[in-house]
Amino acid sequence: MIDYKKHLLRKLMLKNIKILKEKLNKNLWTENNEILDSHLYDQRGNIKGKTSLLLLPQNTADVVEIVKVCDQYKIPIVPQGGRTGLCGGTIPNKNGKEILLSTEKMNNILEISKDNFYMIAQSGCSLCDIKNKALENNRFFPLTLPSETACTIGGNISTNAGGSAVLKYGMTKEVVEGLEVVLPNGEILNSIKNIEKDNRGFDPKYLHIGSEGTLGIITKVKLRLFPEIKKKAMAIVALDSIEDIINFLNITKNQCYEYLSAFEINSRIGLNLIKKYYNNIPIPFNNKYNWYIIFELSSYDNLDLDLKIKNIISKGLNNKIVSDAVVPQNLNQYNNIWKTRELLSEAQKIKGKSIKHDISIPINKIPIFLNKANKFLSAFHEDNILAFGHLADGNLHYNISKPEEMSDTLFNKLHKQINSNIFDLVNDLGGSFSAEHGIGLIKKKEFKKYTSKEELIIKNNFKKLLDPNNIMNPGKVYN
Ligand SMILES: Cc1cc2nc3c(=O)[nH]c(=O)nc-3n(C[C@H](O)[C@H](O)[C@H](O)COP(=O)(O)OP(=O)(O)OC[C@H]3O[C@@H](n4cnc5c(N)ncnc54)[C@H](O)[C@@H]3O)c2cc1C
């Protein structure tokens, strides 16, 4: 028997590819299977898509050329940056009809103005290159993610990425001054200007920040830079309870609000993972406490931040909030302490399957959340439950690893129920089921369930207005 649906899809796919190959310059695409295959997996290796063509534009004109053809022939495009996204946003549909567009060759930094504190770059530049270029010019670009060598600035903007510097500098949207976007009809929306103020009604660039490639392709970005950081000081402190951590955050903010640039939570379970999978990294305090906070102060001048760190720790110790503290004495110790936090996602990946939650909760309700969530999960040994993340902005990564003795089938069966319980609880506490990773492919159901009717109408209508042929990352975010 012929599967007509499959047959028709294949015909359509072959037609799409033929059109693109005929219409586009040869250096704009590849059909090389090995290259294609490396672009088909999500970061966690859980989802795999299918495609027969990868488009590799080098500049805005190339993107315009591609998008115009795709819009005319209704060929769906999946934009890809560094493919470090954690929600499957870069994975094409399994039917193979969608074409990939990678910004990897759009990786030039175009302009940097030291005096006016901005940088203009193509969207495929890695975050790491952006940060390094700023540093070379005695400037600082604050976005800080463990994935920074691989992720692109276009991907960061498309996901409105967070990270550990949100506390001081805000989410990515706060450091974007202008964007150039190729819209789904191939026209260019350009908001890159040389002026600070431009108050002509609402600013459409904000529609594209966090839109996960569903409203157009970001081609160029203008980023806000800051003065070079002259002084940094950090410590890791050990604490007994989550309530103590919140009290310690208050002490830190009260004493050093303007300098506080990171406040990251880790736990005994997290340090155990690092100890198990990265035995070259020294484990602070022999891991004998329940909770740990890495906090960092930074300043644009040569302030004595070490003294401020010591004062904060003393206050924590005197108030019996802090149990112990380590202040690194050299760069190597500093880097190793940060690694105990930054390598957590990778360590958990090595450990095996896990159910991940990227949630945000009003900070004062985090103890209630942890208490109730741990109760839902009483069937899991506590060593399988890892809570870590950017506590000072209420963002927790709350992940449950598959116990060794549990079958994959049972773990997969529990996945749905656990997600539902956790997300309902987060919603009841006034939080969000997606703090910084976005919606992509894997959180569409939650997007619909936990977003108000009014917000859904606005978002769906903008999608229809900008992309009437639904060619931009179809099947992601929206239904
Ligand atoms: C180890 C690790 C740690 C991480 N830590 C953090 C963290 O602390 N905070 C955080 O927020 N995220 C974190 N992430 C997630 C990820 O790094 C971010 O979401 C990042 O912003 C994605 O950038 P990317 O270039 O890899 O985008 P991709 O994964 O390639 O794409 C992400 C989405 O953006 C779209 N897109 C990409 N480029 C463009 C473009 N030019 N125009 C239009 N759409 C585009 C894609 O279609 C997709 O929907 C982490 C990931 C890893 C692997």
pLDDT digits (tens, 9 = 90+) for 36-94: 999 999 887 788 999 989 999 999 999 999 999 999 999 999 999 999 999 999 999 99
Q: Quick one: pLDDT at residue 3?
A: 72
The alpha carbon dihedral of 379, 381, 384, 387 has a sign of: positive
| Single pTM value for the model | 0.93
CA 6 to chain centre: 35
- Beta carbon of 397 within 6 Å of any ligand 1 atom: no
Secondary-structure class of domain 231-428 per CATH: alpha beta
pLDDT at 1 over 60: no
> Which residue CA neighbors atom 48 of ligand 1 most closely?
89
**Rounded distance between C-alpha atoms, residue 368 and residue 373, angstroms:** 8
In the predicted structure, residue 18 carries a pLDDT above the cut 90: no
User: How far apart (Å, rounded) are the C-alpha atoms in residues 259 and 281?
Assistant: 28
How far is C-alpha 223 from the geometric centre of its chain's CA atoms?
A: 17
Q: How confident is the model at residue 12 (pLDDT cuts 50, 70, 90)?
A: confident
Q: CATH code for 109-227?
A: 3.30.465.10
The residue whose CA is least distant from atom 23 of ligand 1 is 155
> Residue 350 in contact with residue 380, Cβ under 8 Å?
no
Locate 244 and state its tokens. Answer: 């103590």
The answer to whether the CB of 161 is under 6 A from ligand 1 is yes
395 close to ligand 1 (CB < 6 Angstrom): no
Classify domain 4-102 at the CATH topology level: 3.30.43
Query: Ligand 1 centre and the CA of 207: distance in Å?
Result: 17
Question: In the chain, what percentage of residues exceed pLDDT 90?
Answer: 89
CA 219 – ligand 1 centroid, Å:
15
- In which residue are the tokens 């009483």 written? 378
Ligand 1 closest atom vs CA 438: 19
Contact between 231 and 298 under an 8 Å Cβ cutoff? The reply is yes
- Closest C-alpha to ligand 1, atom 50: 147
Residue 52 in contact with ligand 1 by CB distance below 6 A: no
Determine whether the shortest distance from the Cβ of 394 to ligand 1 is under 6 A. no
Encode pLDDT of 142-195 as tens digits. Answer: 999 989 999 999 999 999 999 989 999 999 999 999 999 999 999 999 999 999
The alpha carbon of 359 is separated from its chain's Cα centroid by a whole number of angstroms, namely 12
| Separation of alpha carbons 169 and 304, rounded Å | 21
pLDDT in tens, 292-343: 999 999 999 999 999 999 999 999 999 999 999 999 999 999 999 999 999 9
Query: Contact at 8 Å (CB) between 218 and 183?
Result: no
Q: What is the 3-state secondary structure (H, E, C) of the chain?
A: CCCHHHHHHHHHHHHHHHHHHHHCCHHHEECCHHHHHHCCECCCCCCECCCCCEECCCCHHHHHHHHHHHHHCCCCEEEECCCCCCCCCCCCCCCCCCEEEECCCCCCEEEEECCCCEEEEECCCEHHHHHHHHHHCCEECCCCCCCCCCCEHHHHHHCCCCCCCHHHHCCHHHHEEEEEEECCCCCEEECCCCCCCCCCCCCCHHHHCCCCCCCCEEEEEEEECEECCCEEEEEEEEECCHHHHHHHHHHHHHHHHHHEEEEEEEEHHHHHHHHHHCCCCCCHHHHCCCEEEEEEEEECCCCCHHHHHHHHHHHHHHCCCEEEEECCCCHHHHHHHHHHHHCHHHHHHHHCCEECCEEECCHHHHHHHHHHHHHHCCCCCHHHEEEEEEHHHCEEEEEEECCCCCCHHHHHHHHHHHHHHHHHHHHHCCCECECCCCCCCCCHHHHHHHCCHHHHHHHHHHHHHHCCCCCECCCCCCC
- 212 within ligand 1 shell (Cβ under 6 A): yes
Identify the pLDDT of residue 164: 87
Render the burial of 1-40: b for 16+ CB within 10 Å, e for the rest. Answer: eeeeeeeeeeeebeebbeebeeebeeebbbeeeeebeebb
Q: How far is the CA of 294 from the centre of ligand 1 (A)?
A: 24
Nearest Cα residue to atom 1 of ligand 1: 147
Q: Are strands 99-102 and 54-55 parallel, antiparallel or unpaired?
A: parallel
CA–centroid distance, residue 171 to ligand 1 (Å) = 13
* pLDDT of residue 390 exceeding 70: yes
Quote the mean pLDDT of the chain: 94
Mutate which of 103, 151, 208, 436 for ligand 1 pocket (most atoms within 8 A of beta carbon):
151
pLDDT band for 2, please (50, 70, 90 cuts).
Answer: low
**C-beta separation of 309 from 328 below 8 A:** no
Higher pLDDT, 218 or 19: 218
20/118: higher pLDDT: 118
Please tell me if the CB atom of residue 348 comes closer than 6 angstroms to any atom of ligand 1.
no
CA distances from 57 to 27, 149, 178, 260, 293 (A): 8, 21, 21, 40, 43
Dist. CA 159 → ligand 1 center (Å):
6
Pocket test residue of 84, 123, 463 for ligand 1, highest count of atoms within 8 A of CB: 84
- The residues, ordered by sequence, that sit 6+ positions from 59 with a Cβ below 8 Å of its Cβ are 106, 122, 219
The Cα 427–Cα 447 span in angstroms is 12
The rounded Cα 234 to chain-centroid distance in angstroms is 24
Q: Is the CB of 436 under 6 A from ligand 1?
A: yes
Tokens of 463: 């999608």
Written as one letter, the residue type at 73 is Y
Distance CA 309, CA 451 (A): 41
Rounded to the nearest angstrom, the distance between the alpha carbon of 253 and the centre of ligand 1 is: 30
Asked whether 84 lines ligand 1 (CB < 6 A), one says yes
Distance 260 CA to ligand 1 centre (A): 25
Q: What is the largest CA-CA distance in the chain?
A: 78
Domain residue limits, the chain: 4-102, 109-227, 231-428
Shortest-distance atom of ligand 1 to CA 218: 42
Tell me the average pLDDT across 241-256.
96
Task: Determine the distance separating the centroid of ligand 1 and the alpha carbon of 71, expressed in angstroms.
Answer: 25
